[in-house]
Structures are given as structure tokens and as C-alpha cells.
Amino acid sequence: MTRKVRKAVLPVAGLGTRFLPATKAVPKEMLPIVDRPLIDYAVAEGRAAGIETFIFVTNQRNEPTLRAHFDMVATLEAELAAKDPALVRRLRDGEPPKGSIHCVPQGQPLGLGHAVGCARDLVGDEPFAVILPDDLMDAAPPALAQMVAVHERTGGNVVAVEEVPRELTRRYGVLDIGADDGIMAEVKGLVEKPEPEKAPSTLTVIGRYVLLPEVFEHIAKAERGAGGEIQLTDAMAKMIGRAPFHGLRCGGRRFDCGSRIGFVEAQVGFGLKDPDMRDRLMQFLRASGSEWE
């Protein structure tokens, strides 16, 4: 019997330098895609996968804003209720239950592996998810729910993966793969940000993970890897061969909201999914397209 995946770690300590000056006072995860901050999409995906506890690994500056966003604000609710009860429903929509959000500071920005390691005490000895809110996923069923289902079958580690053009491998964790049925691939090796000519494949890790708690021991012992950082990829690589480990192609679309172009694509992609704005936005895009041709 595998243990239920109940907790998710969300590293949100980055400074969002690519989005300056928007991120001077506003944490990157609070930037909206249409009308919801990025962090809400991550939490909604977690809840759809059965996650009950969300652990944000924060920097000191962004923690108060994140906490404020997830706290019920009684005065705001009362004000909105007097105006229009539908607004209160919007405010509460997707809000995680009280007590489900926890914050832990990262202290020093030493890399993704280090950030995940900061959540060790709060996760304890059970399998858990990692969600990188910058990677906005639009898949049905939601990506993390698919991964949890695989974990329940295999009892092992699962990472979400997608193919990228070879020249882009230096931006990602890259898999060396064994048996592959086109959806699920056995992980034989993992390398962080290899140069294209050294990459073992073009199948790359995107920001969703279901990991066994043993990863914390490997993070604790990890040396600095690519970019001088403590890499989650290196700690995960140590678990290969000791427990089942799979890459899962979750289908749907992934928007890299850590980049400016991915962020704008996400606005358009999610705008087009909204029935209230779809037609108008489509018209606008068509007209803009012909204007620039």
C-alpha cells in the first residue's frame, strides 16, 4: 500500500528579476494570469490532486503578501457582501481551507534542492508533491492528479516531463530514459541543465514532482551542482534504481510563466478559455495579426 500524497511544497522564494519593476513590491507568484494570481492556479491544481497541506518556501519579503492573500479578510468580505454576494463567492472560489497553508523561510537562495530541503520538517516521512508555480499547467485531468495516480500504482517517484528542442536542454533537468510507452518513461538518469550535445535525451522535467521522503537525505548531503546551486535534480538522481522512478507526459499545455513570453502566452491562452472574453480576444488577435504581417 502506498501512502497518500497529502502535502505539497511550493518554492516561492525567487526574486522575480525578469519581471522587474512589476516585482519590486509584488511577489512574482502574485502576478495575475487573467484575474487570478499564479499561486492560485498552483494551489487549485494541488487541491484537485488531493493535497491538504501547502508549504510555501518563501523569502522574507514575499511572505506577508502570500499570507494576506490566503487569509480570509473579514472586513473585505463584509464590504463585498453588502455590494454583491457574487463577489464574495469569487473571493472564496478556490480558497484553500483554513490552516492548510504554511510558510517556511529559505534564508539563503541556494537553489531549488535547498528550497525543497527547507520544508523537510513540515513534510516529515511521507511522499509529497513539489509544485513550481512558474510552470502553469493546463491539462485534463490536471497534471499533478495524473502523477499522484501513477505514484499510487508504482509507489515510486514521478516527474512531469515534456519534449523540448535540443538547443533548449541547458534550461532544464533532462532525463536518460529506459522503457517508454509514449506516455510514461522509466527514468534511468537525470542531468541538470546539460549542454545540447551532452543531453541524454530531449525529454525534460517540468515543474511538478511526486517524491519519496528519502530525497531529503540526498538534499542534505548534496554538493553544489549546475550554476553553483544545490539542485533537486542531483538529489533525485540518487534515488534512481532504489525505487521506481518515472517521467509522465501529462498532455495539455505548459506555460513557462518564469519567462516574459510564456507569461504573455498564458494570458492569451487562459483568456481564450474564458467564455466571457473569448470572441472579443480572438477578433483582437486576428486583427493584430494582420496588422503586423
Taking the complex as a whole, how short is the minimal distance between the CB of residue 216 and ligand G1P, in angstroms? 17
Q: Applying CB under 6 A, which of residues 63, 135, 162, 234 lies at the interface with ligand G1P?
A: 135
**204 near ligand G1P, judged by CB under 6 A:** yes
**186 near ligand G1P, judged by CB under 6 A:** no
**203 near ligand G1P, judged by CB under 6 A:** no
**132 near ligand G1P, judged by CB under 6 A:** yes
**205 near ligand G1P, judged by CB under 6 A:** yes
Region binding ligand G1P by CB under 6 A among candidate stretches 49-57, 145-153, 199-207, 245-253: 199-207
Q: Nearer Cβ to ligand G1P, position 99 or 227?
A: 227
Do 45 and 90 form a contact (C-beta atoms < 8 A)? no
What is the distance between the alpha carbons of residues 114 and 222, in angstroms, rounded to a whole number? Answer: 9
Do 255 and 249 form a contact (C-beta atoms < 8 A)? no
**What pairing do the DSSP bridges indicate for beta strands 203-211 and 157-163?**
antiparallel
Do 59 and 96 form a contact (C-beta atoms < 8 A)? no
Q: Nearer Cβ to ligand G1P, position 18 or 90?
A: 18
Measured distance between the N- and C-terminal CA atoms of the chain, rounded to whole angstroms: 58
Taking the complex as a whole, how short is the minimal distance between the CB of residue 233 and ligand G1P, in angstroms? 5
Taking the complex as a whole, how short is the minimal distance between the CB of residue 23 and ligand G1P, in angstroms? 16
Taking the complex as a whole, how short is the minimal distance between the CB of residue 208 and ligand G1P, in angstroms? 9
What is the distance between the alpha carbons of residues 12 and 103, in angstroms, rounded to a whole number? Answer: 10
What is the distance between the alpha carbons of residues 102 and 119, in angstroms, rounded to a whole number? Answer: 10
Taking the complex as a whole, how short is the minimal distance between the CB of residue 68 and ligand G1P, in angstroms? 26
Q: Applying CB under 6 A, which of residues 116, 206, 219, 266 lies at the interface with ligand G1P?
A: 206
Residue burial 13-46, b: 16+ Cβ < 10 Å; e: rest: bbebeebeeebeebbbbbbebeeebbbbbbbbbb
Calculate ∠ Cα 152-191-194, nearest 5°: 140
Taking the complex as a whole, how short is the minimal distance between the CB of residue 128 and ligand G1P, in angstroms? 17
Q: Nearer Cβ to ligand G1P, position 54 or 172?
A: 172
Taking the complex as a whole, how short is the minimal distance between the CB of residue 132 and ligand G1P, in angstroms? 6
Burial degree of 146 (CB within 10 A; 0-12, 13-18, 19+): buried
Residue burial 236-261, b: 16+ Cβ < 10 Å; e: rest: bbbbbeeebbbbbbbeeebbbbbeee
**112 near ligand G1P, judged by CB under 6 A:** yes
Residues that bind ligand G1P (CB under 6 A): 112, 132, 135, 172-173, 192, 204-207, 231-233, 258
